[in-house]
Amino acid sequence: MKKDLLSVYDLGLEDFKEIFEKARHLKSLYKEKVAYAPLKGKTLGMIFDKSSTRTRVSFEVGIYQLGGLALFLSSRDTQLGRGEPVSDTAQVMSRYLDGIMIRTYSQQMVEDFAAFADIPVINGLTDLLHPCQILSDLFTLMEKQGTFQGKKIAYIGDGNNIANSWINAAARLPFHLALACPEGYDPDESILARGIREAQEGIVLHRDPAEAARNADVLYTDVWASMGQEEEQEERVKAFQSYQISSDLLSLAGKDAVVMHCLPAHRGEEIAEEVIDGPQSIVIDQAENRLHVQKAIMELLM
């Protein structure tokens, strides 16, 4: 792997294989309660500009299980929040820490941090991308369906950081991606154009959720209003009314299709309660695998 994990688009086939093989091994050790501490004595700094449940807990527990220490750093409590240049912070933290995970708004901030840091930088989420989530999702699909190769993954909803990251993955891996987004809520234009140009199995953007869901192996969704978009909630509910993963939409997918959601979920909005709690849902498995995949990423980078 490269020094940093900023986007799944930066990964090659061997990188994906290495991450998934390592995650599988680490998960087996975890289930067997076997102690394994390759990062003993190492410290991961975790910079948070956004609130978090799964990202914070999985990284903090993960580094602890690998023998290391996590240091929670809120931008409100550091000089970053008072305007210290990213370049200065990155260089100084490189003298203190062995790795950095950043969950923030700007992808450029993460890119800049990585450019000036001498230690690995992991993108824990930005408004543009969420690479750790998509790697965990792909790993989960391999567990549940044997492979993601040749599968049709239907993403229904907002063209947000999750949609962008699925496009980046489809540009690198052999699966078909069908997106369904209302007009005005498309994924990032440049990421989508590049993905359509480079995808091995094809990327199609639909307006009709039924077209995306038809014969899909995976139905995937996310909240209609992400963090920072709460003021748009009412407007977005109107725009996305027909984009719910309901039982009817699920009936159009393949008979062995699975349902995925990166959480937190707004039940009754982007996904029906009977679907997220139903037998085809693998949502909790996705969430668990954040722990194992991120442990693999940390071990490989740190």
Question: Is 130 part of the annotated catalytic residue set?
Answer: yes
- Give yes or no: 82 in active site: no
Choose among 56, 229, 262: nearest CA to 162: 262
Catalytic position from the list 54, 56, 130, 176: 130
Residue among 4, 49, 98, 222 flagged as catalytic: 222
Element (H, E) at 176: strand 176-180
Task: From the candidates 98, 132, 244, 262, give the one annotated as an active-site residue.
Answer: 262
DSSP state of 264: -
For residue 259 the two structure tokens come to: 């349902």
Is residue 155 within 8 A of residue 221, CB to CB? The reply is yes
- Selecting among 49, 56, 98, 103, the annotated active-site residue is 103
b vs e for 225-245, b when ≥16 Cβ sit within 10 Å of the residue's Cβ?
bbeeeeeeeeebeebbeebbb
DSSP secondary structure, 33-94, as one string: T----TTTT-EEEEEESS--SHHHHHHHHHHHHTT-EEEEEEGGGSGGGGT--HHHHHHHHH
DSSP string, 211-236: HHHTT-SEEEE--SS-TT-GGGHHHH
Q: Which amino acid is at 13?
A: L
Q: Is 256 a catalytic residue?
A: no
For residue 262, indicate whether it is catalytic: yes
Q: What residues pair up with 178 in beta bridges, in sequence order?
A: 154, 204
Active site residue 206: no
103 is catalytic: yes
Q: Which of 54, 98, 127, 133 is catalytic?
A: 133
Annotated catalytic sites, by residue? 103, 130, 133, 222, 262, 290
